[in-house]
A = this chain, B = another copy of it.
Amino acid sequence: MSSAPPSGRTRPGGRTARTRAQVLAAVSAELAEHGFDALTVDSVAARSGVHRTTVYRRWRDVGGLLTDLLDATSDDDWQPADTGSLRGDLAALNREIQQSLTERPSIAAALIAASFRSEEAARALRRLWDDRYGRCELVVERAVQRGELPPGTDARALLVTATAPLYHQLVLLGTPPDPRLPEHAAATAALAARAGAFTSGDVEGE
């Protein structure tokens, strides 16, 4: 669930790809260091060393820059860890989320803050999350195959439940990071999932 921009992308059209990589690295650095309010096309152009006319023509404005940064982040080969257990996989995912939200500067935290300022960035961030949660469904499929979870477990609902306490505590409630939280939230969601909480929308006793 890392939100770091891709670096050193090598592709057909190498010069265009290099320009994009330079500009997106500058967006990421400016955003993390100075926040959304200080982010301008000119500051990004200056930092990237790419001519401002090029940046304006290709990315138009701050919303365009943020959107491209977020879309580029999806364009990697990130996969959830395979630790051999549902609980271990969810804990590894949660540690990655906690790390990305608490490192200083945190580009993930800056992008979330920016999403409250730019509708375009908000949509791009939601596409990125959708992509990441989609890749994590593999964690649940593996657990079903191992017989850890009942078939028909709603993977997305389980993944959102396992990760939500991290986002709620760190982004909204502003609780100081608890090193036990990634593991605890993972274990709690795994326990509920094994008991069938994410199967056919019903929870035991309903």
Contacts and interface: CB of A to CB of B under 8 A. Distances in A.
B160 A165 contact: yes
Contact of A197 (B169, B187, B206): B187
Interface string A177-206: 000100011011101100101100101111
Contact of A185 (B161, B163, B206): B161
A165 B203 CA distance: 16
B126 A174 contact: yes
Which interface residue of A113, A167, A188 has the most chain B CB atoms within 10 A?
A188
Interface residues of A, number: 37
Contacts of A157: 184
A195 B195 contact: yes
A181 to B, nearest CB: 9
B161 A188 contact: yes
A38 interface: no
B191 A195 contact: yes
B161 A180 contact: no
Contact of A164 (B165, B180, B184, B203): B165
Contacts of A113: 116
A171 B172 contact: yes
30 contacts: A112-B116, A112-B172, A116-B117, A117-B117, A122-B174, A160-B168, A161-B185, A161-B188, A164-B164, A164-B165, A164-B169, A167-B167, A167-B172, A171-B172, A180-B201, A184-B197, A184-B203, A187-B203, A187-B204, A188-B192, A188-B198, A189-B192, A191-B192, A191-B195, A191-B203, A191-B204, A191-B205, A192-B192, A192-B197, A195-B195
3 tightest A-B contacts by CB? A187-B203, A164-B164, A164-B168
